[in-house]
Structure 1
């Protein structure tokens, strides 16, 4: 250990953080195989959710995502070994075999066989794959996306490329890098000057107006009728005897919602974070995060302009701390409880760096300068083929008037949904979903703007924002393994937003008060996956509002995107 210290001192590094890291590594588990996360949006999530709804597997506890690769591999093994495996349709069996290619390495590390007769190489293609033994592996994949979107006579073209690198080092560390660079151009991209840029960016992030908006866009470069933006997710995960420790940049989904989540969603750009996660047997999971957000609020004390006219803009600090407990008290019932706090204008607060701290009491101790939220959800699957869930998000609440239509400080959000999977008959490869979300006025906001529940201008929770509700219905039918047909309907109602002063002086504002905007969307989509992670998509949408109706059409080619 002294040799490490002397080297670090000679390099003028402060040694103690590195000593801490080396101590963590010295107590690593026997293997780190599978500890890196599966990207949100991977097809494995919907397949596992369908298997849970059918009753093939129980106690999945997927209300805390992303899941690790080893967790997904274990669930695929449970499906393979389930006594109810005979209930799988022919399409589902082929889907299972398809996913086993993606998680071949983790499955083999668990002792499972993934050899497939029709594919003697029993693996999927990688640009590079190599390594020696278990725990020293590296994979490299290209990322490509081309798309064409039109709506109301406006057209946008998108081109994205990048790469994915992931692997394991020395049985202790897993790493992951996913980067992509995107250009968008066409008549749907306005020529934006400085004067209109802020208003246009807000429109892009508004689900009622931004017809071409994408979630998770951070910094945007403007070049006339073209915009460029790039996104990156990365993580280093360390397997320890008691928990997994992760340093990275990524997103989190907390809650069972399908078309957005009210506690934490991936609508906002990914953010830097430290994450601790642990599982205790097969009944309980615990997750803690501390994240560095983008406030979008200029720090006038630290920002400056050089004599040559160059402007250096720095932003006020904003953080998110949160922890979530998800447990299975009985087979077919998963319960999640979480607590989050937004704070800023100072360095990381030590009380919020304690994973098991009760943040409610911590912020009282600090004098109530921050914005605390609590949430809970129940995911019920007691009847095979039927799953329903309910989520509650509490920003502020006045218990004695919780059921009052003009309740004082009832700043809450609720979400409920049903997932149906027919078990027999001609419709057995069908999925039916119905979901309702309601966000009361003032939710996600705060009297101190630094504490708003957002990052880079995007809400961290459900994308419809406060004083709004949404009905979402979707039918998926997988005719063959590679072919998915989708039919969906979406109705969003949104009332007026008011200032923070109005929110605190008149906290009993009625739901959907003021002028209400309504947007209905009818859609049909076709997705074809001829090879792993290569998707061809075609979607038609009809948008209907008080201002009239518009047709939208989208075509895309995606590989590893």
Structure 2
């Protein structure tokens, strides 16, 4: 508790100093745009054409994106692209898209508030010997609020959700919805909810915000190695600053320990009820992004630590975690990474990323140096096909990446990885072709092949640890060597199609089909998955 109070007092002093020292511009404090918003694929197209420089440190703010879209409006483009740009500018500037839009807005010279409903109805049907055959329905109902008050920007969103199925839900793993915070299992029904919120302040050169949200750092679009939007939202304090070609972000975050990691020192009976607490878990991370005319480079590091409050040396924005972690006794989970994206030709972007987990020495053979890398390409209007783009990615994650000797330091929030979703001892090929027929209609075809080396289980129930599960770090009895794709190899191939129709902005109808083929050393099975979705303001 003392650590939390010390942290809050320190942050208040920092904010007060900057508030007094610098003039504030409220527009820079506009709320972030959620990572699933459809404006991001459009920004990737504009970035690949070298029309505008779009950072790979995301999410971006509403004002940032409006400025980017406005800056390219004079370029020669298709009617579809121009229609999308006009649609998103109108949305982000808070202009109504049609007469009876379900939105309430109030504003004066010092403040503004916008309230919007959000909803999503999704039906999933799974058939085939590769699945537990079932039909599931997911219903989300909620709302969002955003606005400003003088120099502060704010945003809040909440939804209540229920998943129905014709199959029982006995564990978290049975639930199809993702990502998940706490769930209430009720036979064939599951209830869950999630909130995200943000309070931001900015001046001409710095922005500070606190709240609960998700981050994505890097050029990957199927996930990134250091931070992806794979996990539920988490509490964070964030500082962002930029100067010229440089952009720097620092966060101090509170994570949720995996269900079952109980703090045994804080368990007691209160009013006849057993009261338990999960162990404390924290994340600190920072990223420096350098933008040149044709190349963007990102450098970042992060550390997950637990069983204590916020560590002051990790909270400081100028800390170097590689040295700080050593100073604190090498008891935390340190990760380091870098990425690069380059515009080789107009319309073609190549990118790559590397990632080291627990790197303590520059020795490729050291067990502590677990490694992952990612390669990708994004091609806009290939071979002259307008309003079309192609993306291809390959990711390889070595054994034991994201795991740690201490369970509390696993690189996850709840039971979802903060980094790339495949987990360790895995690789993945991904390819997608997307065509936009109009601002309201697009379709895509995808192919994926994912391999996973899972930990074998002996007849007596003991686990042979080959580094195939991020939730199981190296034990004392495990070998000091690791081999990629050892263990039980499972190969998953997916081929599918997706159609999205958005008659008006933020109202979408989607249909998706995926064919699955799962191959192991003992069997080969197939499955079919159909998904139909209707959503309003849900991203």
TM-score (norm 1): 0.85
Pairs aligned (count): 504
Structure-2 change in CA distance of 1:504 and 1:89 (3 Å): farther
* 1:494-537 deviation digits (Å, cap 9, x = unpaired): 00242434488524211010110111111111100001101100
What's 1:137 paired with? Answer: 112
Which of these residues, 277, 296, 305, is aligned with residue 334 of structure 1? 296
The structural deviation recorded for 1:29 is 3.7
Mapped to 2, the partners of 1:16 and 1:475 lie a distance apart of 49
Residue 535 of structure 2 aligns to a residue in which SS?
A: strand
Whether 1:412 and 2:371 are equivalent positions in the alignment is yes
What's 1:96 paired with? Answer: 85
Which of these residues, 267, 277, 285, is aligned with residue 303 of structure 1? 267
Which of these residues, 46, 49, 61, is aligned with residue 44 of structure 2? 49
Mapped to 2, the partners of 1:382 and 1:183 lie a distance apart of 46
Mapped to 1, the partners of 2:310 and 2:44 lie a distance apart of 36
Equivalent positions of 1:133-282 (< 5 A) are 133=109, 135-152=110-127, 153-170=133-150, 172-188=151-167, 190-192=168-170, 197=171, 201-202=172-173, 212-215=176-179, 217-281=180-244
Whether 1:64 and 2:57 are equivalent positions in the alignment is yes
* 1:449-484 deviation digits (Å, cap 9, x = unpaired): 111101101110011000001111111011111101
Structure-2 change in CA distance of 1:33 and 1:124 (3 Å): farther
Mapped to 2, the partners of 1:219 and 1:484 lie a distance apart of 34
* 1:321-344 deviation digits (Å, cap 9, x = unpaired): 01000011x312100000101111
The structural deviation recorded for 1:96 is 1.1
TM-score (norm 2): 0.89
Q: What are structure 1's unaligned runs of at least 5 residues?
A: 1-13, 106-113, 205-211
Structure-2 change in CA distance of 1:504 and 1:137 (3 Å): farther
Structure-2 change in CA distance of 1:521 and 1:213 (3 Å): farther
Residue 428 of structure 1 aligns to a residue in which SS?
A: coil
Structure-2 change in CA distance of 1:393 and 1:503 (3 Å): farther
Whether 1:363 and 2:325 are equivalent positions in the alignment is yes
Which of these residues, 363, 386, 389, is aligned with residue 348 of structure 2? 386
Mapped to 1, the partners of 2:306 and 2:360 lie a distance apart of 25
Mapped to 2, the partners of 1:541 and 1:451 lie a distance apart of 35
The structural deviation recorded for 1:551 is 0.8
Whether 1:374 and 2:336 are equivalent positions in the alignment is yes
Residue 518 of structure 1 aligns to a residue in which SS?
A: strand
Q: What are structure 2's unaligned runs of at least 5 residues?
A: 1-7, 128-132, 456-464, 466-471
* 1:192-250 deviation digits (Å, cap 9, x = unpaired): 2xxxx3xxx2465xxxxxxx2412x1100111110010011101001134411111000
What's 2:499 paired with? Answer: 526
The structural deviation recorded for 1:307 is 5.7
Whether 1:39 and 2:38 are equivalent positions in the alignment is no
The structural deviation recorded for 1:74 is 1.3
Residue 318 of structure 2 aligns to a residue in which SS?
A: coil
2:25, 2:203 within 8 Å by CA — same for their partners in 1? no
1:442, 1:503 within 8 Å by CA — same for their partners in 2? no
1:409, 1:508 within 8 Å by CA — same for their partners in 2? no
Structure-2 change in CA distance of 1:493 and 1:223 (3 Å): same
RMSD: 2.3
